[in-house]
């Protein structure tokens, strides 16, 4: 008598980009607050089997890294946890920008197939974290950390001239950004030079007014999660300056959150 044929089907979920990259190339921390920190340009690791980008016909092509922003992001996250007794969401690219630039659309930030999983893993985390914040908290804030060499002592404001924080400004007014208890007002109170100045009507410097990440994950086009790009001068990114700035930025974020972000989740 013939044995019956038994067919076993094993259904596997498709691999996401995050499942295809080696350990140590991204830091991804799931948060407990409606706050997401991003550091896309501080990495120094090569992407295996990937040539550097040539940038042919790519607008705003840059390959230099933002020195120490990867280290600073980790310190800021740790200081936020101390100040607020909970962890923020955090994503840090440890691969070099010259292989993949995650602060550009994929067509401009990736040239080789080997870099695509790294680019997509970074954005998968941003997208998923933003969605979780909006669903669970209703409102939230993305802070994208960058470095600039134009003024060592300045922090340039990057909000596409308030558009990436449109929901915040519509709800609370521009003072939520530049008022005394606003995000940049708190940093100015801590002794940092903000450009443009908080009491100025000047437009943001077009070199530093906010890139792809804040435009995509802020409230420029939809939603209630706002995004701010911080272009940090060299003084706050030195080994000696980072510790002080991390504490000051975390304190400013904690004060801002108390005033402008929800204190409890919508869902339990």
**Banded model confidence at residue 59, pLDDT cuts 50, 70, 90:** very high
> What's the CA gap between 216 and 125, in Å, rounded?
13
Looking at residue 3, its pLDDT comes to 53
Contacts of 56 (CB under 8 A, 6+ apart): none
Looking at residue 100, its pLDDT comes to 98
pTM of the model: 0.92
Which token pair is 253?
């974020």
> Quick one: which of 82, 84, 95, 73 has its CA closest to 29?
73
Residues 41-47 have a mean pLDDT of: 98
Looking at residue 12, its pLDDT comes to 38
**Which domains are assigned to the chain?**
17-260 (3.40.630.40)
Q: Any idea which residue has 């304190």 for tokens?
A: 251
> What's the CA gap between 195 and 203, in Å, rounded?
10
Contacts of 113 (CB under 8 A, 6+ apart): none
Contacts of 133 (CB under 8 A, 6+ apart): 31, 34, 35, 36, 89, 140, 225
Which token pair is 18?
């995050």
Residues 187-208 have a mean pLDDT of: 97
Q: What is the pLDDT of residues 119-151, one digit of tens each?
A: 999 999 999 999 999 999 999 999 999 999 999
Q: What is the pLDDT of residues 71-126, one digit of tens each?
A: 999 999 999 999 999 999 999 999 999 999 999 999 999 999 999 999 999 999 99
Q: With 80 as the cut, is the pLDDT of residue 16 above it?
A: no
**Banded model confidence at residue 17, pLDDT cuts 50, 70, 90:** low
> What's the CA gap between 107 and 177, in Å, rounded?
32
Looking at residue 268, its pLDDT comes to 58
> Quick one: which of 155, 181, 163 has its CA closest to 241?
155
Looking at residue 15, its pLDDT comes to 46
**Banded model confidence at residue 43, pLDDT cuts 50, 70, 90:** very high
Q: With 70 as the cut, is the pLDDT of residue 264 above it?
A: yes
Looking at residue 98, its pLDDT comes to 97
> What's the CA gap between 122 and 114, in Å, rounded?
14
Looking at residue 20, its pLDDT comes to 77
């Amino acid at each position: 008598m013939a044995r019956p044929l038994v067919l076993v089907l094993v259904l596997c979920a498709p691999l996401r980009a995050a499942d295809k990259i080696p350990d140590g190339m991204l830091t991804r921390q799931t948060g407990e607050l409606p706050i997401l920190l991003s550091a896309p340009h501080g990495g120094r690791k090569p992407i295996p089997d990937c040539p550097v980008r040539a940038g042919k016909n790519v607008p705003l092509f840059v390959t230099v890294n933002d020195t120490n922003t990867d280290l600073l992001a980790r310190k800021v996250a740790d200081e936020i946890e101390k100040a607020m007794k909970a962890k923020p969401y955090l994503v840090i690219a440890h691969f070099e920008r010259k292989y993949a630039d995650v602060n550009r659309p994929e067509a401009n930030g990736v040239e080789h197939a080997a870099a695509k999983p790294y680019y997509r893993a970074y954005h998968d985390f941003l997208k998923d974290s933003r969605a979780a914040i909006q669903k669970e908290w209703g409102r939230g804030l993305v802070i994208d950390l960058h470095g600039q060499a134009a003024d060592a002592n300045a922090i340039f404001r990057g909000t596409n001239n308030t558009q990436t924080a449109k929901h915040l400004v519509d709800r609370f007014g521009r003072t939520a950004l530049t008022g005394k208890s606003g995000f940049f007002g708190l940093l100015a109170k801590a002794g940092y030079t903000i450009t443009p100045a908080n009491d100025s009507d000047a437009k943001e410097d077009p070199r530093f007014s906010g890139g792809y990440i804040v435009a995509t994950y802020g409230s420029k086009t939809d939603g209630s999660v706002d995004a701010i790009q911080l272009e940090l001068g060299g003084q706050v990114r030195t080994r000696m300056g980072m510790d002080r700035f991390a504490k000051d930025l975390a304190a400013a974020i904690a004060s801002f959150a108390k005033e402008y972000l929800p204190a409890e989740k919508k869902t339990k």
